[in-house]
Structure formats: structure tokens, C-alpha cells
Amino acid sequence: MGRLGMLKRFLAFILSVSICASVFAGKSDKRISVNADDAYDVSMYADKLQDIAKEQEKLDSQIKAAEKDIENKKTEQKLIKKKIDSVNKKIEVLNSYMTKLEIDIASSRRQVADKQKEIDENTDRLKKRIRLMYIAGESSYTSVLLEAGSFYDVLMRVELIKRVADHDNKIIDKLVSAKKDYDRALESLNNQKAVFDEQYKELKSEKKKLNKLYNSSKQQKADYEKQKAALEKKNQEYINERKAFEADLSGILTSSYGNSSNDTAREAAELSANDALKSLRESISERIANGEEIPDSECKYEFSWPVPGSYYISSGVGERWGSYHTGMDISGSKGTAIHAVEAGTVIRSNSSCPHNYGKEKSCGCGGGYGNYIIIDHGNGFISLYGHLTSLNVSDGAVVNKGDVIGTMGSTGYSTGDHLHLEIRYQGMFLNPASYVSLN
């Protein structure tokens, strides 16, 4: 069995036991849509990688055969070009797959944190009970019975003792169950991290292979430099368009385009966002514990998946050929329902882009987003949904978590039907993979 075949089986096993339940900005290649039952199925990635690997083996064999004959130099160049395309495809799939793993890892971390909190709370309860029993003394139960004034009183006191004992047993049972769940979640998290690290090594290896192929001949290097120059020119045009758009939405969106430290800026924003989320969630939990009912229209800062039924991520956050992709692309079919990831108020939207088809450059609508919706979730958090076909909401609308707000499309700077999702804190983009849950 090939290495990728083994990887496929390994990944399928690991993620099957998981309890957990952003390339150009707004640009997406071939789209794949799957069913809800496949939300945690990684076979689509493994199959695609295996197909690419087979194609690469065939091309390697053809390259070696062509190298023996100088007269077949043109054939060799064509085959190297195909190999470059193949490696680029593999890099794209690996990037997408790693974004999916990031979602799984973030979900498992939340599961581990929740179970740890549950364990701590039940441990505190049990400590209090043991302390009370110690203070009362070992004969406390006997004393309770002997102090009964009548047979009826004895029965009532026996029932009281039984209920207290049952309560203690339930606390212990919850602790044991929570500990088992914690151990399983932690094991799943560690396994997911190991797979992600392995894929990162594979990605670095493929990038090294790509550079070697580009430098394998003067012709290939010249073609690469020409292609790169053309892409950088097109990217700069798009960056200028996005900057103008974000300037118009100052106070809502903040850009770090033109700065080589995009990742550093994003990571700093995520640290601030995580601190804010922790405080907000603790406040909400305390309100619930005090018996307050939180209305559906209020954001609880638990971001859900925006496209139930479509789980293939075609592009994640990060650098893409001189540009920087500020969101996560989720593939699907034109017209697929898009849901609000959390409750909030629509603060900006656009529905005027008629260019609803795949294209290799921006049509100039909506700063590249085409038809889009921006929802304010309060406390500095917003979500943005780009390239929509249609909108179900307008500015000022109050939406609940899960409400259908529009449909998927390919408006703006998009090569195919997909949703471009962004989650931002104080205008700065975050990595949605670290915040949305698949369930």
C-alpha cells in the first residue's frame, strides 16, 4: 500500500473518533461540495492527493525517458511544465487540507477546555461535600436517625440521607465520565496536531520541489519570472482596489496590505480577539448560571458553520502568489443557502454586482467581494460573506445565528462558485478556521 494510501486510512481512523464537532483574496479554483455526513470525512483530500501522486510518478518516468534524447528537449520542457502544474495542484490541496485540520484542532481544543472546566467545577463540589462530612463527623448519619422524633420522621430522614448519598455519587460519576471524555478529546487533539505537522512537512517538501523544477532550465525560469511579473501586476491592481474599498469602510475593515508582516499582524489580532472572547463567554455563562435566559437575537460568540452541507475548503488564510487571502473559501453550488455564523445586525451590504460567473480578474464590484453582507456581532467582532448570488437581508436587519442571509455565487473577484468568509476583530482579519465549528 502506498504512503498516501496509508495516510488516508490513518486520517480516516483518527478523525472518526474525534469528539469535536484563509490563491487570491476571494479567489477560488475548482469547487467540490459534499453532504453533511462528510463534514469530518478527509477521504476527499486523500483521494485527490493520491491521484496527483500517480500523475507525478507517470510524469517523472516520461521526463527521464525524454532526458535521454536531446532531440526531445521540447517534449522534456512540456513535461516539466506539466509537473510544475501538478506540484502546484498538490500544494493547493495541502493548503486546503491543512485549513480543514485547523478547524478540527480548534474544535478539539474547545472540547478539551470545556471538559476541563466541567471537571474543575465537579471537583470543587466534591471537595465541599467531603469537608462538610469531615466537620460533621463520621457518626453524622447515625445522629440524624437517632434524633428522629417519630417513626415517620425516621423514614423522612432515611430518604434525606439516601438523596444526599445519591447526589454525592452523581458528582463522582460525572467526574469519571468527564475525565474519560477529556482523555479522548486530548488524544484526538494530539493526533490531529501530529497529522497537521506531517502535512506541513509535506507542504515544505513540495515547495522545495517546485523551486527546483522552476530552476531546472533557463526556459522554465524565464517562463516563471514572466508569469510571476504578470501575476504581481494583477495582484497590485486588486490590492489597490481593496485598499480603496476598505478606506470607504474605515472603522469596519482594517487592511495590512503592502506590509510583509500580514501573518504577524493577524496573529496579534487573534491574541486580542481570544482574550475578548474568553471574557465575553465567561460573562454569558455567569448570566445563564444565574437563571437569565439569553435571547436568540443576542450574540453568544460561538461561531457556527455558514454552509451546512458544504464542507470542502478550497482556500484558507495566508499568502498566495504575492497577495494575501484574508478569509476562508468554502466550495459549493450556485444558489446554496448561506447562514449567519452568529447573531448580530447587518451594517453593510451590496447586491448590485451582475457579474455572477467565474473570472480571472476583478470586475470592480464591492471591492472584489461582489455581492456581500457584513454583520456586526458587537464588541468589535464582525463577519463578512462575499461573492453572493443574492441577499435575503439588507442594512439594519437583525439576524439570529443560523438565519439564511443569502445564497452562494461567483460575483466580484471569483473564479467559481463559493463563499468567501471573513471573521474580523476591531477591523483586523482573523483566521476563521480557529473560530468556526463544523457542528
For the stretch 313-338, pLDDT in tens is 888 887 765 567 889 999 999 999 99
* Residue 344 scores a pLDDT above 80: yes
Between 381 and 170, the higher pLDDT residue? 381
Instruction: Note whether residue 165 is domain-resident.
Output: no
CATH code, domain carrying 429: 2.70.70.10
- Rounded mean pLDDT, 388-410: 96
Angle at 421 between CA 417 and CA 424, to 5 degrees: 160
Phi and psi, residue 282, nearest 5°: -65, -40
At 137 the pLDDT is 53
Instruction: Note whether residue 213 is domain-resident.
Output: yes
- Rounded mean pLDDT, 14-19: 42
Instruction: Note whether residue 96 is domain-resident.
Output: yes
- The helix-helix angle for 151-214 and 3-16 (nearest 10°) equals 160
* Structure-derived torsion over alpha carbons of residues 229, 230, 236, 242, reported in degrees to the nearest 10: -150
In sign, the C-alpha dihedral spanning 184, 186, 190, 195 is: positive
At 382 the pLDDT is 95
Residue 33: pLDDT band with limits 50, 70, 90: very low
Residue 20: pLDDT band with limits 50, 70, 90: very low
Residue 339 near residue 308, CB atoms below 8 Å: yes
Instruction: Note whether residue 164 is domain-resident.
Output: no
* Residue 269 scores a pLDDT above 80: yes
Residue 282 near residue 325, CB atoms below 8 Å: no
Residue 305 near residue 88, CB atoms below 8 Å: no
Give the domain extent around 350.
3-114+203-434
Query: In sequence order, which residues have a C-beta less than 8 Å from that of residue 45 and are 6 or more positions away?
Result: 11, 93, 96, 97, 100
48-57, 225-234, 395-404: which range is least confident on average?
225-234
Total tally of structural domains belonging to the chain: 1
Query: In sequence order, which residues have a C-beta less than 8 Å from that of residue 96 and are 6 or more positions away?
Result: 45, 312, 313, 314, 315, 316
Instruction: Note whether residue 272 is domain-resident.
Output: yes
At 57 the pLDDT is 79
* Residue 258 scores a pLDDT above 70: no
Residue 276 CB coordination number (10 Å): 16
Tell how strand 398-399 and strand 344-350 pair up.
antiparallel
Place of cell 430522614: 157
- Rounded mean pLDDT, 376-383: 96
Angle at 375 between CA 368 and CA 110, to 5 degrees: 105
In the chain, the percentage of residues whose pLDDT exceeds 90 is 28
Instruction: Note whether residue 140 is domain-resident.
Output: no
Angle at 405 between CA 29 and CA 102, to 5 degrees: 50
The secondary structure of the chain in percent helix, strand, coil, rounded to multiples of 5, reads: 55, 15, 30
Burial of 149 (0-12, 13-18, 19+ CB in 10 A): exposed
* Residue 210 scores a pLDDT above 90: no
Residue type, 215: N
If residue 120 lies in a helix (H) or strand (E), which one and from where to where?
helix 73-136
Instruction: Note whether residue 234 is domain-resident.
Output: yes
Q: Closest by alpha carbon to 29, among 81, 79, 84, 88?
A: 88
Residue 235's alpha-carbon distances to 139, 251, 372, in angstroms, are 80, 24, 21
At 36 the pLDDT is 47
Alpha-carbon span 359 to 230, nearest angstrom: 16
pLDDT in tens, 347-356: 999 999 999 9
If residue 144 lies in a helix (H) or strand (E), which one and from where to where?
helix 140-146
Q: What is the DSSP letter of 409?
A: B
Residue type, 258: G
pLDDT in tens, 150-172: 545 545 555 555 666 666 677 77
Residue 316 near residue 325, CB atoms below 8 Å: yes
Instruction: Note whether residue 172 is domain-resident.
Output: no
Average pLDDT over all residues of the chain: 77
Alpha-carbon span 5 to 12, nearest angstrom: 11
Between 114 and 400, the higher pLDDT residue? 400
**Highest mean pLDDT: which range of 22-31, 118-127, 377-386:** 377-386
- Rounded mean pLDDT, 367-381: 94
Residue 4's alpha-carbon distances to 10, 84, 196, in angstroms, are 10, 20, 15
